[in-house]
Chains A and B, each alone.
Chain A
Amino acid sequence: MALLELKDLHVSLEDGTEIVKGVNLKVDSNEVHAIMGPNGSGKSTLSYAIAGHPAYQITQGQILLDGEDITETEADERAQKGLFLAFQYPHAIPGVTVTSFLRSAINAVRKAKNGAVDDPIPVPEFRTELFAQMERLSVSRELASRYLNDGFSGGEKKRVEILQMAMLKPRIAVLDETDSGLDIDALRIVAGGVQELIGPNMGALVITHYQRILNYIKPDFVHVFVGGKIVEEGGPELAKKLEESGYKEWEGVPA
């Protein structure tokens, strides 16, 4: 039984336009899968659908987490079960500090794990962990007391996404273009942070347009995603091939 499984997944926008047109995928812990596709191919739509965004309707197929069908569950429940999406464009929440947000999120997950009974993380434990993770990911301390993503640079937002992941310790992480907006040093740090978490407790689905991030997070499997479908699958060598010849081969192929 796979950790995350997509079975013939179809996703439409609210106006009925179908964007994701039947995706099959299995990700296990200890595995990194890369989904590579050109702009507009539906990568973010796929990741939103996996995370449970209400504007992206699953019209056909299933999402399974540990064999359990989560297709109909809300985003919070999916997150509580260990699913994490690092957003391509994280939202700003004015007035809510990174620290208080992270504490609320951790406590929400702990509460769900504790049979809906509050089990807040002790403050000293939280602070120790937060500062250790911030240090590891080279996130400046000052960001902890800033309002979440409010006025953050593109790079800061991406780092804070990974900081959230490191704090929440999900079992499956979906990273939507985490590489965009990061310079090479930041990319190395962030990717290193992700790589460290991959193991018996976590698998990852790395969604990207470019091969660059895959130099730092080694994929076990590469899926080429064009026009809302996986059009080719292979090992890490496929990523190299894409880097050289791009997506031309598949674009223009009628969906």
Chain B
Amino acid sequence: MANAEAAVRFAELPVPTTHEEPWRFTDLRGFDPASYPVPTEAIGAAAASVLPDLDVAASAEVSEGGITIHADALPAGVRFEVLDEHDPRLYGLVGWSDKFTAHNAALWKHGLLVQVAKGVELEKPLYVRIANSVPGGALFWRLLVVAEEASRFTLIEEYASASPDLPGYTNAAVELYVEQSAKLEYVSVQNLSRETWHFATHHARVERDAELDWVAGGFGSKRGKIRIQNDLNGPGATSRVTGAYFADGDQHLDYDTFQEHIAPNTESDFAFKGALRESAKAVWRGMIRVEKDAQKTNAYQENRNLLLSDTAHADSIPGLEIMANDVRCTHGATLGRVNRDEVFYLMARGLSRAEAERLIVRGFFQDVLDRIELLPVREALGQALESRIPQAL
């Protein structure tokens, strides 16, 4: 029994400390995942969405109380349903090797299976919203996505909280199988309350000539870690991950990304940009690993942070581990501030200081926003970022 094994593992493992390299910049002291009860009913109204009213093919809402699915008009070959704990692909990518994936595997109850059959193309996106609503409670969430051969579709996942200061703990495990020649667009937007500890492990496997286009938006949560792993597992596989985040107050965001090139002729392109205000902190770790058979790999990663106050802080830790000899890997990390001369230039045209700064911050994100193919998502994320820039910085 997976659950039982995972529960044992969870109990055995200590909460990671800053002595462990991946957690060096993310201190979890004061947080005990075991202390959070797992409610079985949601409380109050649904959380607000940062995404506009999208025209979707099907949607699901997940809360402590369960999962509600609206999928009346789905074409044949599309499964959008409650995840079965015996699904053969479950745990294939996200098992229970560490404290948080073990916690998820031990306790998850609500999961969604999204499986699109061979050759099926969906024009409208699929949408799932995960919202925590019980003060002091935990919410475990599990998503399994299978894009079968040559299928094409978009899945949008949004994390939210019923109120902006709801204390809580959310733990997500997401497995994405992108099979031969399929194209999956996956949008994951996190807008949890600033009192929610959030841990998520997203792991995708991309097969021959398949394409994964991923957008990660980070606005909420208190502290935690979001892991994103892409395995380029078949020749010609490509993945692109675009991240945009904004944190303020004492929020602490942590992204741990892993580009794992297994097959030859594969491409990955990860670009993360974030703006940080007040005492917010961001940690970004990027690892590109090229296995010895993965010749002709083309891998790129970048992380650019814009600090909007003297007390904001960002750490970027890029990493390369290359076993093949004919590859192209590039990475870059920068840390910047809003430049006083640029602000003056805009003010000299009549823009107030706040408007000038807003325009500069918006401009900073523009190139990552431009990478988002879905126009409504691009606009919604742009607006969500913009709304976080206050009237006066």
Residues of A within 8 A of B (CB): 51-55, 74-76, 78-80, 84-85, 87, 90-91, 93-96, 101, 104-105, 108-109, 112, 147, 164, 168
Residues on A with C-beta less than 8 A from B366 are 94-96, 147
Q: How far is the CA of A94 from the CA of B345 in the complex (A)?
A: 13
Residue with the highest number of chain A CB atoms closer than 10 Å, among B353, B355, B359, B363: B363
Known: A95-B367, A96-B362, A104-B359. A164 touches B349 (CB 8 A): yes
Q: How far is the CA of A79 from the CA of B350 in the complex (A)?
A: 5
Q: How far is the CA of A164 from the CA of B347 in the complex (A)?
A: 13
6 residue pairs, one from A and one from B, having the closest CB atoms: A95-B363, A95-B366, A79-B350, A75-B347, A105-B349, A96-B363
Contact of A74 among B340, B342, B353, B360 (CB under 8 A): B353
* Interface check B42, CB cutoff 8 A: no
* Interface check B49, CB cutoff 8 A: no
Please tell me if the beta carbons of A93 and B340 are within 8 angstroms of each other in the complex.
no
Residues on B with C-beta less than 8 A from A79 are 347-350
* Interface check B346, CB cutoff 8 A: yes
A246 → B minimal CB distance (Å): 31
Scan B316-359; emit 1 where CB is below 8 A from any A CB, else 0.
00000000000000000000000111101111111111011001
Residues on B with C-beta less than 8 A from A147 are 363, 366
Q: How far is the CA of A84 from the CA of B345 in the complex (A)?
A: 11
Residues on B with C-beta less than 8 A from A96 are 359-360, 362-363, 366
Please tell me if the beta carbons of A93 and B345 are within 8 angstroms of each other in the complex.
yes
Closest B residue by C-beta to A85: B348
Contact of A54 among B342, B344, B356, B363 (CB under 8 A): B344
Contact of B349 among A55, A95, A168 (CB under 8 A): A168
Closest B residue by C-beta to A110: B350
Known: A74-B353, A93-B342, A108-B355. A52 touches B363 (CB 8 A): no
Please tell me if the beta carbons of B349 and A108 are within 8 angstroms of each other in the complex.
yes
Scan B278-321; emit 1 where CB is below 8 A from any A CB, else 0.
00000000000000000000000000000000000000000000
Known: A91-B342, A93-B342, A104-B355. A76 touches B360 (CB 8 A): no
B interface: dominant SS: helix
Size bracket of the B interface: 20 to 34
* Interface check B36, CB cutoff 8 A: no
Q: How far is the CA of A230 from the CA of B348 in the complex (A)?
A: 25
Q: How far is the CA of A84 from the CA of B356 in the complex (A)?
A: 16
Please tell me if the beta carbons of A93 and B363 are within 8 angstroms of each other in the complex.
yes
Contact of B340 among A55, A85, A101, A164 (CB under 8 A): A55
Q: How far is the CA of A90 from the CA of B349 in the complex (A)?
A: 12
Q: How far is the CA of A51 from the CA of B345 in the complex (A)?
A: 10
* Interface check B91, CB cutoff 8 A: no
* Interface check B23, CB cutoff 8 A: no
Q: How far is the CA of A52 from the CA of B347 in the complex (A)?
A: 9
Q: How far is the CA of A93 from the CA of B355 in the complex (A)?
A: 13
Q: How far is the CA of A133 from the CA of B88 in the complex (A)?
A: 65
* Interface check B96, CB cutoff 8 A: no
Contact of B352 among A55, A76, A93 (CB under 8 A): A76
Q: How far is the CA of A52 from the CA of B349 in the complex (A)?
A: 11
* Interface check B153, CB cutoff 8 A: no
A156 → B minimal CB distance (Å): 16
A15 → B minimal CB distance (Å): 16
Please tell me if the beta carbons of B359 and A109 are within 8 angstroms of each other in the complex.
no
Please tell me if the beta carbons of B365 and A168 are within 8 angstroms of each other in the complex.
no
* Interface check B108, CB cutoff 8 A: no
Residues on A with C-beta less than 8 A from B363 are 93-96, 147
Residues on A with C-beta less than 8 A from B352 are 76, 108
A104 → B minimal CB distance (Å): 6
Contact of A108 among B340, B351, B360 (CB under 8 A): B351
Q: How far is the CA of A78 from the CA of B352 in the complex (A)?
A: 11
Contact of A91 among B341, B359, B362, B364 (CB under 8 A): B341
A232 → B minimal CB distance (Å): 29
Please tell me if the beta carbons of B351 and A104 are within 8 angstroms of each other in the complex.
yes
Please tell me if the beta carbons of B351 and A54 are within 8 angstroms of each other in the complex.
no
Residues on B with C-beta less than 8 A from A91 are 339, 341-342, 345
Known: A91-B342, A91-B345, A93-B342. A108 touches B350 (CB 8 A): yes
Q: How far is the CA of A108 from the CA of B359 in the complex (A)?
A: 13
A169 → B minimal CB distance (Å): 11
Residues on B with C-beta less than 8 A from A85 are 348
Residues on A with C-beta less than 8 A from B346 are 93, 101, 105
Residues on A with C-beta less than 8 A from B364 are 94-95
Q: How far is the CA of A79 from the CA of B359 in the complex (A)?
A: 17
Residues on B with C-beta less than 8 A from A101 are 346, 349, 359
Residues on B with C-beta less than 8 A from A94 are 363-364, 366-367
Residues on A with C-beta less than 8 A from B347 are 52, 74-76, 79
A133 → B minimal CB distance (Å): 15
Residue with the highest number of chain A CB atoms closer than 10 Å, among B339, B352, B360: B352
Residues on A with C-beta less than 8 A from B365 are 95
7 of the cross-chain contacts (CB-CB < 8 Å) are A74-B347, A76-B351, A91-B339, A95-B367, A96-B360, A96-B363, A108-B351
Residues on B with C-beta less than 8 A from A51 are 344, 348
Q: How far is the CA of A74 from the CA of B354 in the complex (A)?
A: 13
Query: With contacts A53-B344, A76-B353 known, what are 20 further pairs, Cβ within 8 A?
Result: A52-B344, A53-B348, A74-B353, A76-B356, A79-B347, A80-B350, A84-B348, A87-B345, A91-B341, A93-B359, A96-B359, A96-B362, A101-B349, A104-B359, A105-B346, A108-B349, A108-B355, A147-B363, A147-B366, A168-B349
Closest B residue by C-beta to A96: B363
A165 → B minimal CB distance (Å): 10
Residue with the highest number of chain B CB atoms closer than 10 Å, among A53, A74, A76, A104: A76
